[in-house]
């Protein structure tokens, strides 16, 4: 089986490397040559494509790209890969996009005899590198079952949610909750500082209360240690909460808490913090 992988950034790179480590025949492509080199260093079964179109004969193609517009350009444009892929091949996307775009991609692929499975991811680059990235899959069940052995090589656990709408909606909602929680945590840390509570003790004690959370456990210590290195950047966080607010609006629901959090991430980006980790929202609260 020949696998193509487009997009070797913080998330895509580790997943592609997991495939190479597993001995899969993987053809990779990215605009960044350093990202290609890091990925190919994972083993001997990977090779680089000169351009994305060179992957047209692959049996399975992955994409891990920043925005819906990038996916549409690479896969659905006049010369996009979905117009060139062979009948019966399968396209897997692990990006974070909105459910409406996902359904549009699925219909576009189906009309050309290509299967589509949406597989947004649950955690960060560290988990992805160890093949411990939760995967939330959606799409035709038979197509999903065909690629399940491949998905099990790139991450775990793999959850099947039904359609692509459910898979991508879950990921967007998860990020809405996580990023809003992070903003509240940042606010709480400022208040704890105002109260004169030792920051490290503050985190330890919060973990024993109803305020405990993934963001507290992971990003709380980073904030206290002034560690804002980019694991999941402000700009990506803003993109995801924006997608969530737009998704909610399209369903007639006013996501008020997320909209408030979005304002803080917008301020952080406006202050030039877009390439710092999303915990940099602490700096604008």
**Same-domain check for residues 176 and 138:** no
Residue 273 lies in a domain: yes
**Same-domain check for residues 152 and 258:** no
Using the CB atoms, write b or e for 194-215: b if 16+ within 10 Å: eeeeeeeebbeebeeeeeebeb
Tens digits of residue pLDDT in 221-234: 999 999 999 999 99
The whole-number pLDDT of residue 194 equals 97
- Parts of the chain with a pLDDT under 50: none
What CATH number does residue 205 fall under?
Answer: 1.10.1040.10
Q: Which of 102, 136, 162 represents a domain boundary (last residue)? A: 162
**Same-domain check for residues 127 and 36:** yes
**Same-domain check for residues 176 and 158:** no
| Structure letter (DSSP) for residue 123 | S
Residue 167 lies in a domain: no
What CATH number does residue 125 fall under?
Answer: 3.40.50.720
CB 186 within 8 A of CB 268: no
The whole-number pLDDT of residue 250 equals 96
**Same-domain check for residues 279 and 186:** yes
The whole-number pLDDT of residue 240 equals 95
Residue 51 lies in a domain: yes
HSE-CB for 240 with a 13 A CA cutoff:
27
pTM of the model: 0.93
**Same-domain check for residues 158 and 176:** no
> What is the span of the domain harbouring residue 213?
172-284
- How many domains does the structure of the chain reveal? 2
**Same-domain check for residues 156 and 182:** no
CB 27 within 8 A of CB 248: no
**Same-domain check for residues 9 and 73:** yes
């Amino acid at each position: 089986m020949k696998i193509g992988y487009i997009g070797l950034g913080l998330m895509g790179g580790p997943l592609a490397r997991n495939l190479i480590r597993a001995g899969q025949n993987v053809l990779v492509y990215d605009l960044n040559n350093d990202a290609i080199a890091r990925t190919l260093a994972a083993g001997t079964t990977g090779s680089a494509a000169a351009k994305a179109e060179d992957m047209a004969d692959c049996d399975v193609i992955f994409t891990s790209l920043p925005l819906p517009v990038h996916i549409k350009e690479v896969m659905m444009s006049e010369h996009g890969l979905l117009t060139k892929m062979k009948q019966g091949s399968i396209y897997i996307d692990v990006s974070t996009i909105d459910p409406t775009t996902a359904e549009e991609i699925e219909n576009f692929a189906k009309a050309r005899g290509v299967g589509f499975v949406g597989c947004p991811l649950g955690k960060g680059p560290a988990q992805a590198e160890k093949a411990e990235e939760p995967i939330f899959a959606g799409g035709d069940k038979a197509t999903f079952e065909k690629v399940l052995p491949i998905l099990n090589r790139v991450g775990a656990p793999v959850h099947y949610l039904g359609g692509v709408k459910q898979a991508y909606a879950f990921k967007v909602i998860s990020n809405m909750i996580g990023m809003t929680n992070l903003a509240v945590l940042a606010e709480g840390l400022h208040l704890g500082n105002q109260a004169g509570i030792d920051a490290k003790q503050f985190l330890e004690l919060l973990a024993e209360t109803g305020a405990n959370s993934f963001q507290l456990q992971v990003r709380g210590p980073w904030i206290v240690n002034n560690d804002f290195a980019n694991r999941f950047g402000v700009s990506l966080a803003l993109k995801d909460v924006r997608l969530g607010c737009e998704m909610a609006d399209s369903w007639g629901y006013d996501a008020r808490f997320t909209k408030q959090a979005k304002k803080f991430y917008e301020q952080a980006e406006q202050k030039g913090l877009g390439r710092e980790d999303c915990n940099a929202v602490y700096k604008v609260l």
